Amino acid sequence: MNTGDAAFAALPAPPYWAVAFSSRRADGDAAAYDEAATRMVELARKQPGFLGVESARGADGFGITVSYWTSEAAIAAWRAHAEHAAVRATGRTVWYTHFELRVARVERAYGGGQAH
């Protein structure tokens, strides 16, 4: 669905896969973090099986990013990507006080709002 709002991922009908990444940013290193985050989204978009990504982070530093993929294999390949793996290591040790990642199979989806 294309809402004209680029924050929403335009996804096909389910089933597809989702990676929900919740994180708390550590203080500091904002410029390097922002640059890496932007780069990772650019890189993810080029991966086979990438469908879309949505992301939100509040002023308290807690954020949720959900990326969408055609298959578990596509997620595994992105996970194994060398540059992505290197950036994740920095995330674990520098950028996040804590994170949780959940891999899920999307079974149903629907949307709405004033734009409809």
Site residues (vs a copy of itself, CB under 8 A)? 1, 3, 5, 7-9, 14, 18, 20, 22-24, 26, 54-60, 62-66, 72, 92-93, 96-116
Q: Which is nearer to a copy of itself, 47 or 55 (CB)?
A: 55
- The secondary element (H helix, E strand) that includes residue 20 is strand 16-25
From the CB of 90, what's the least distance to a copy of itself, in Å? 12
Q: Which residue, 55 or 70, has its beta carbon nearer to a copy of itself?
A: 55
d(CA 58, CA 60): 5
Nearer of residues 1 and 43 to a copy of itself, judged by Cβ: 1
Rg (CA), the chain: 15
| Residue partners of 100: CB distance under 8 A and separation at least 6 | 21, 22, 23
> Please, what is the minimum distance in Å from the beta carbon of residue 14 to a copy of itself?
7
**What six digits make up the tokens of 96?**
């996040």
Question: Least separation, in Å, of the C-beta of 54 and a copy of itself?
Answer: 5
Smallest separation, CB 44 to a copy of itself (Å): 17
Terminal Cα distance for the chain, rounded: 11
In this complex, which beta carbon is closest to a copy of itself, that of residue 54 or of residue 77?
54
What is the amino acid identity at position 110?
A: Y
